[in-house]
Each structure stands twice: as structure tokens, then as C-alpha cells.
């Protein structure tokens, strides 16, 4: 019988795996046919002998990191055999996105949002080869009705922001951390984000954008797995590799990620639009984009 892991140890191992992912280590091998309850080995060199003290050590390590980490990946089995995703064999990004959409299924029931009033899955929209990708929080009422992200009031403002950058909505790709509307458009919960984000990671890995812009704190904290205020998250680029991504493509080893205010926040506090524009200008400089010339008055 396979040994069952203590939930705390499982959580600690999941955190260790995430840490390894951040260090660029993706593949883990289970040594030998059986893992005894008192001796667990990870290929990272972490050797866990006698679970009790090791759990305690891991717990302490985790407690120290807790303040810096908001989310943990949904790791169901840390010794899962890593199987390639269906889209990895496909070179056309539109076909690859379609495979991810198919994988999601017509009526995803992976998290509780499916029984909390969502009308449809809002997968994502735009150019499958976009250099620039925007990631929001989750669909609202308008998006839930239309099946497309950012089509309501916040979407109108996002469209204006994109236009101000000298590009069109069709040029970029737009998605959300969760693909189903949380009831009353509440903030998506951690388990919902963790369940849904692997699909977003796969979308990013297929599109291979040069820049991802996280719209608002929920998107930023989930993508970066950092719990910091917006004032600290904005104003710089992060190197971002979608978690689980294993590249055979030397031309894409990840993307830059920038954080700016969510358009819905800017609608509530328009004084912050100037700050958001600074974030977008940073992105434009990186992408070599010029704002459109204003027509002569
Ligand atoms: N807010 C979001 O975060 N995403 C949408 O798609 C719409 C509003």
C-alpha cells in the first residue's frame, strides 16, 4: 500500500516543490519502487529521514516564509509523474489554445464556482501570438454573460488604456486568474485561484508573450506568489516563467511581468490613472511602442 503523507508534511513538500520551481527545478524523481514511511528522498537533494523532526523543521521554514507567500500551488501529489500537456506537441498557438480549452471541458466542475451561479467559462480572448498579455482577476457579470473577459465598464477603460499604448485590443491577449464568475463578483478564493491558474499558466506558455501585465493586486499576488501592497509590486519588471513550464524552445525562456492598477479600481479612483499610465509607459518602452500621435487640433 502506498504510504499516505501527513497533511502538514504534504503542504510543506508542496511548498518545497514551489520553491524548487522558483529556482528553476521542475523534474522530481521518485527513487526506488517504494517510499518507506521513515525515509523519503527528493531528487533536489532534500533527504527526509524520520518524519517527525523533519516536519518540524519544514514547519519552521514555512512559518518563516509565510509572510512573503500568499498562494501555494494545488499540488495533489508531489510525486506525480509529469506528463506533457496535450498542447505541447502542437506548434500553432491557436490550435494549442484550443486544446487547452478542450482540456478544461465544456462545463468545468473543478472548483466550487461552477455551482455558484456562473453562466459560462470565460477562457480568454485575443491574439494567440500576442507580445502583450493582460491578466485580470475574474469575470464579472458582463463577462459571464458574453463569455469574454473585460467587456464591461472596466473593459472599456482597459480598451482605452490599450489604445493609448498605440495598439488594438485584438493585438493583445486578455485572460483572468479564474475563468468563472465568483458570486456577486467577489474576490476569487485561494482554492479557486489554485485550481484554475494551471490553465492560465498553460495559456501563457503557449502565447509566449514578451510582457504580461497583471491588473490589480489579486492577479499580481497570484502570478507572483507574493503578498505585498500594490505600492511595492508596481514600478518594476519581474522575470516570470509560468509554473510547470518546461521549454524546449530556446527563443522563449519566460516573460517580463509588470503590475498595474485594475481598471475597476481606476474607475473608483481616477486620480491613480497617471500612475497606471507610468506602468504602461514602462511596458511600452520595453516593447518599443510609441503612443499614437494626437490629431492636430
Ligand atoms: N474584471 C476582471 O478582473 N476581469 C474581467 O474580465 C472583468 C472585470
Residue 204 clears pLDDT 80, i.e. is over it: yes
User: How many other CB atoms sit within 10 Å of the CB of residue 42?
Assistant: 19
For residue range 90-143, list pLDDT tens digits in order. Answer: 999 999 999 999 999 999 999 999 999 999 999 999 999 999 999 999 999 999
- What pLDDT was estimated at residue 14? 64
Residue 197 clears pLDDT 50, i.e. is over it: yes
Beta strands 132-136 and 211-215 are: parallel
Residues 70 and 187 sit within 8 Å (Cβ to Cβ)? no
Q: How far is the CA of 138 from the centre of ligand 1 (A)?
A: 5
Q: How confident is the model at residue 36 (pLDDT cuts 50, 70, 90)?
A: very low
User: How many other CB atoms sit within 10 Å of the CB of residue 143?
Assistant: 26
DSSP H or E run through 206: helix 190-207
Q: How confident is the model at residue 69 (pLDDT cuts 50, 70, 90)?
A: very low
Q: How confident is the model at residue 170 (pLDDT cuts 50, 70, 90)?
A: very high
Q: How far is the CA of 77 from the centre of ligand 1 (A)?
A: 31
The Cα 98–Cα 92 span in angstroms is 10
The Cα 85–Cα 202 span in angstroms is 8
The Cα 11–Cα 65 span in angstroms is 13
Q: How far is the CA of 292 from the centre of ligand 1 (A)?
A: 26
Residues 24 and 35 sit within 8 Å (Cβ to Cβ)? no
**What mean pLDDT do residues 219-234 have?**
97
For residue range 238-258, list pLDDT tens digits in order. Answer: 999 999 887 777 889 999 999
The Cα 17–Cα 202 span in angstroms is 18
E strand intervals along 78-229: 125-126, 132-136, 173-176, 211-215
Binding-site residues, ligand 1, Cβ < 6 A: 136-140, 143, 149-150, 152, 154-155, 176, 264
The Cα 22–Cα 35 span in angstroms is 26
Amino acid at each position: 500500500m502506498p504510504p499516505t503523507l501527513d497533511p502538514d508534511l504534504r503542504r510543506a513538500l508542496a511548498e518545497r516543490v514551489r520553491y524548487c520551481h522558483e529556482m528553476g527545478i521542475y523534474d522530481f524523481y521518485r527513487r526506488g519502487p517504494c517510499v518507506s514511511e521513515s525515509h523519503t528522498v527528493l531528487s533536489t537533494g532534500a533527504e527526509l529521514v524520520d518524519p517527525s523532526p523533519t516536519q518540524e523543521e519544514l514547519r519552521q521554514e514555512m512559518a518563516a516564509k509565510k509572510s512573503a507567500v500568499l498562494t501555494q500551488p494545488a499540488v495533489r501529489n508531489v510525486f506525480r509523474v509529469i506528463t506533457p500537456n496535450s498542447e505541447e506537441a502542437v506548434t500553432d498557438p491557436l490550435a494549442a489554445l484550443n486544446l487547452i480549452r478542450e482540456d478544461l471541458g465544456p462545463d468545468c466542475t473543478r472548483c466550487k464556482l461552477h455551482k455558484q451561479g456562473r453562466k459560462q467559462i470565460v477562457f480568454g480572448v485575443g491574439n494567440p501570438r500576442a507580445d502583450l498579455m493582460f491578466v485580470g482577476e475574474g469575470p464579472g457579470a458582463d463577462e459571464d454573460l458574453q463569455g469574454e473577459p473585460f467587456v464591461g465598464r472596466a473593459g472599456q477603460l482597459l480598451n482605452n488604456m490599450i489604445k493609448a499604448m498605440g495598439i488594438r485590443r485584438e493585438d493583445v491577449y486578455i485572460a483572468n486568474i479564474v475563468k468563472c464568475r465568483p458570486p456577486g463578483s467577489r474576490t476569487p478564493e485561494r482554492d479557486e485561484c489554485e485550481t484554475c491558474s494551471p490553465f492560465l499558466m498553460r495559456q501563457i506558455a503557449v502565447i509566449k508573450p514578451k510582457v504580461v501585465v497583471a491588473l490589480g493586486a489579486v492577479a499580481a499576488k497570484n502570478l507572483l506568489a507574493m503578498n505585498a501592497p500594490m505600492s511595492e509590486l508596481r514600478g518594476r519588471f519581474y522575470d516570470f516563467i509560468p509554473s510547470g513550464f518546461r521549454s524546449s524552445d530556446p527563443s522563449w525562456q519566460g516573460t517580463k511581468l509588470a503590475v498595474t492598477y485594475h481598471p475597476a479600481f481606476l474607475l473608483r479612483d481616477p486620480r491613480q490613472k497617471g500612475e497606471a499610465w507610468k506602468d504602461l509607459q514602462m511596458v511600452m518602452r520595453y516593447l518599443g511602442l510609441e503612443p499614437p500621435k494626437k490629431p492636430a487640433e
